[in-house]
Structure 1
Amino acid sequence: MTEPSGGSSERPRRPVVVPAIALTAFTAVGITALLGGLREAPEEPEALGQGAVIDQGQFTTKVVESRVTVERAQSRFQEDKRFVDVIFDVRNNGDETASVGSPPQKLETAFTLASFAGSLIKIDPAFPEDAGPNTFAQGKGGTTRQLHPGVTSQVVLRYRLKDTDPPPKQITLDVASFEWEPDFNNVTPRWKMVATEAGDKWLPEIKARVTLPVKEGDGA
């Protein structure tokens, strides 16, 4: 028997159904490839708490605690002062005396700092500018701003509380680290904060993220 004119011996093809989610994924991968390939998501910093020990290269730092400290008035004409203290045990692993320093005022300038407190690149919640901080190390003869090589010192990061302000329930700190390498214009190595170039800026890499409860402390 002959086929009718214009007919075909092939059966009509069934339409292929592609799930919408597969099309979406394929499109996303295609666009990503056009833009330069898949990018790795940045790793989350290590989440640490009280008692943690952080290898910062230049320093080995133990996170001791955070507490409210009350400095009692010395006379009836004065008032008690309240502070939030964050306390660390810090060993200077370098061969030279290092500075206790202060936390950076801006993230963009943090990479230029080589002090211990300079590595505390973010503190949450942020305290008012007039609250400090005052940073110092406890020494046998009182307080100091120096960290001597090979010595472990207790370092205090201190913020003043106003009379009516309650202390925060907890404090979270982003901590950077240092590496021993040559400078840009000098082949002599030195301790430099580990940072990544981002456009025209250098942003510190977060070594660890530390969260501490703020305890009600004793009088100073």
Structure 2
Amino acid sequence: MTEPSGGSENKPRRPVAVPAVALTAFTAIGITALLGGLGEAADAPDALGPGAVLDQALFDTKFVESRVTTEKAETQFDEDKRFVELVFDVTNKGDETASVGLPPAKPNQVSFPSFGGSLVKITPAFPEDAGPFAYALSKGGETRQLHPGVTSRVIVRYRLKDNEQPPEKMVLDVASFEFRSDFNNVTPEWSMVSKEEKDKLVPEIKARVTLPVKKGGAA
């Protein structure tokens, strides 16, 4: 009887060699798939420190320092007040006056465009009665306005309780802005860059800034 041209099925099969490059490619594709596809993995925010400058589109912001300051009592019936201060040099790059604003009451909230509103998370958190208080310095004293094309020294501060020790450092999650229109308003305007997460909008963190807290100093 003649054996079929295909040969016997009992013959041992030769092992197939898979090049190491192909295995590496398959592994990379698998990891990419787990991350949600090419180009879709979230970028980590910029890690910045004292002296760094961040382009927030609406503002150019220099993170000057964090420090402890003391306001001396003005009368014998008052008491000294200590604060942890965050110090910034902020340039308004828009065409209209902007607000100094305040950091949001709850972390990671999208708020009306203001400088303070872009500080979407501050760590460590302080109790509500500690602040924050925010203002810009001007020749006439304090102001809550940031004028177009002008660089202003901005102070965001929290009051320390008696004998409360200040933190070693402050960490700021900072958002940015974009000038655009949407389906609710065809006229372009400034808004915070955000993304949808669990059926709500949250700010996109552009930078995470770490500022060591300097001890001592008078306000």
**TM-score, normalization: structure 2?**
0.83
Name the aligned partner's letter for residue 93 of structure 1: K
Where does the alignment leave 5 or more consecutive residues of structure 2 unmatched? 1-7, 17-25
| 2:86–2:156 Cα contact (<8 Å) kept | yes
* 1:91 alignment counterpart: 91
* 2:20 alignment counterpart: none
* 2:3 alignment counterpart: none
Q: Aligned with 1:217: secondary structure?
A: coil
* 1:47 alignment counterpart: 47
Name the aligned partner's letter for residue 83 of structure 1: F
Q: What is the aligned length?
A: 208
* 1:202 alignment counterpart: 201
How far is the alpha carbon of 1:187 from its aligned partner?
A: 1.1
* 2:148 alignment counterpart: 149
Cα pair distance change 1:46/1:188, threshold 3 Å: same
RMSD over aligned CA atoms reads: 3.0
In the TM superposition, what whole-angstrom CA distance separates every residue of 1:14-61 from its partner, at most 9, and x where no partner exists? 999xxxxxxxxx89x779969x75783311100000000000000000
* 1:187 alignment counterpart: 186
| 1:193–1:204 Cα contact (<8 Å) kept | yes
Name the aligned partner's letter for residue 117 of structure 1: G
* 2:139 alignment counterpart: 140
* 1:177 alignment counterpart: 176
CA distance in 1, matches of 2:9, 2:53: 78
How far is the alpha carbon of 1:164 from its aligned partner?
A: 1.9
* 1:57 alignment counterpart: 57
CA distance in 1, matches of 2:38, 2:215: 48
How far is the alpha carbon of 1:134 from its aligned partner?
A: 0.2
How far is the alpha carbon of 1:109 from its aligned partner?
A: 3.5
Q: Aligned with 1:101: secondary structure?
A: coil
CA distance in 2, matches of 1:217, 1:139: 24
* 1:23 alignment counterpart: none
CA distance in 2, matches of 1:196, 1:217: 40
| 2:108–2:120 Cα contact (<8 Å) kept | no
| 2:58–2:178 Cα contact (<8 Å) kept | yes
* 2:104 alignment counterpart: 104
How far is the alpha carbon of 1:145 from its aligned partner?
A: 0.5
Cα pair distance change 1:182/1:40, threshold 3 Å: closer
Percentage of pairs with the same residue: 66
